[in-house]
Amino acid sequence: MDYSGKISRQVAGIPRSGIRDFFELVQGRDDVISLGVGEPDFATPWHIREAAIYSLEKGHTSYTSNLGLLSLRKEISRYVDDFFHVNYDSASEVLITVGVSEAIDLALRALIDPGDEVIYHTPCYVSYLPSISLAYGVGVDVPTTKRDDFALKAEMLEAAITPKTRVLMLNFPTNPTGAVMPDDELKKIAALCIKHDIIVITDEIYSELRYDEEEHLSIAALPGMRERTILLHGFSKAYSMTGFRLGYACAPAPLIEAMMKIHQYAMLCAPITSQAAALEALQNGDAAMNEMRESYHHRRDFTVKRLNEIGIDCHAPGGAFYVFPDISQTGLSSKQFASQLLEAENVAAVPGDAFGEAGEGFLRCCYATSFDELKVAMNKMERFVGSL
Ligand code: PLP
């Protein structure tokens, strides 16, 4: 059967992820050191796994409320208040989702009508533009640059705003650059959102993973922003719980209610076993999280130092677990660099252009891999660059 006319035009029009293309090259090769996958190398801390097992042992295998377990929503509300200094009512302003991934989709579908413009900064996480397109929105990208350490500049944002702008998506610390936002620039961005009546979706998934000792500031915490922000967060990165697929959205009740309308039919609820694990993570997971953060911090410093020694210009990003070195001085494109590095040395890293045009000339290396492997990968990188 010819399926070409059977797939929705909206879906057919979405390009494949550049990460997926690259990893098809990696598949089937032996002994590859991967700096490619954006997930922690730690297994979920044991006490969190145990909470999941115990929940199963007790026979807790049912659906939960569509919004999620009230006990978990209460704990999320407490945590968000402590960490982000924003208060949300656990009964009506917190929705538990299947990862931040689902929350992004719900927020966009709840907010935008066909043709509405959504601004996002690039290089960015690969799902943003496809998620905007699937919600029939129009994505407007605002490039960030190495000169600004990949922070979003308010004047660049202002230039992209039109009467059709409905939503701004933010993600700091950023995947793939590890960038963080200077507080004064974030305040200017908040002022623009208020002036132009824009709703913000802030993806805070890497917020705990900051290394340079400043406190993390979310745009939701700035004056006048709580009412126009959907704060998204989850357990995948900070607690090393990617496979549990658990996230949440916090926002004023009418926005959560709109997202709920989609979630209740599309997903019904997030898995109860994962919710039990998440409750344990929030109640007792700080020590394990801090230990993992310290380890990433150490690996970030090592990776940045080695890349610069090798002659690849790499600034020390303030957060997440990625470095985004500038490989343009080698004369190779991002794709050429990544595929030749793989071919010559069996080291996999993702070409920067997989995260938008602004990523051309860069490479995303995830340093959430073992220290021994990182050392070998950097030695191999050195030999590769030396051979060019
Ligand atoms: N947002 C960003 C910026 C990410 O980097 C990722 C995963 O890499 C996600 C969201 C997806 O997170 P989750 O596992 O909670 O769906």
pLDDT at residue 324, as a whole number: 98
From 236, 242, 267, 274, mutation site for ligand 1 pocket: most ligand atoms within 8 A of C-beta = 236
CA–CA gap between residue 240 and residue 293 (Å, rounded)? 11
- Given the CA of residue 235, which atom of ligand 1 is nearest to it? 15
Cα pseudo-dihedral 183, 223, 116, 15, rounded to 10: 30
Mean pLDDT, to the nearest integer, of 238-251?
Answer: 98
Residue % of the chain over a pLDDT of 90: 91
Ligand 1 pocket (Cβ < 6 Å) reads 38, 99-101, 125, 171, 175, 203, 205, 234, 236, 242, 247
Mean pLDDT of the chain: 96
Tokens 């043709």, located at residue: 115
Q: What is the pTM of this model?
A: 0.96
d(CA 344, ligand 1 centre) in Å: 31
Cα pseudo-dihedral 23, 28, 30, 35, rounded to 10: 10
pLDDT at residue 214, as a whole number: 78
Q: Which of 71, 64, 90, 127 is nearest to 256 (CA)?
A: 90
Pair of tokens at residue 200: 């913000």
Q: Where in the chain is the domain with CATH 3.90.1150.10?
A: 9-44+287-387
Which of 5-19, 119-133, 191-205 shows the lowest mean pLDDT across its residues? 5-19
CATH architecture assignment, domain 46-284: 3-Layer(aba) Sandwich (3.40)
- Given the CA of residue 39, which atom of ligand 1 is nearest to it? 8
Pair of tokens at residue 87: 């208060």
CATH topology of domain 9-44+287-387: Aspartate Aminotransferase, domain 1 (3.90.1150)
pLDDT at residue 38, as a whole number: 85
Q: For 131-176, what is each residue's pLDDT tens digit?
A: 999 999 999 999 999 999 999 999 999 999 999 999 999 999 999 9
Q: Where in the chain is the domain with CATH 3.40.640.10?
A: 46-284
Note the helical H segments in the chain: 9-12, 18-26, 46-57, 70-84, 99-111, 128-134, 154-160, 183-195, 253-266, 272-284, 286-310, 334-345, 371-387
pLDDT at residue 28, as a whole number: 78
d(CA 178, ligand 1 centre) in Å: 13
Q: For 172-218, what is each residue's pLDDT tens digit?
A: 999 999 999 999 999 999 999 999 999 999 999 999 999 987 789 99
Nearest CA to ligand 1 atom 2: 125
d(CA 332, ligand 1 centre) in Å: 29
Half-sphere exposure of 386 (CA within 13 A, CB side): 9
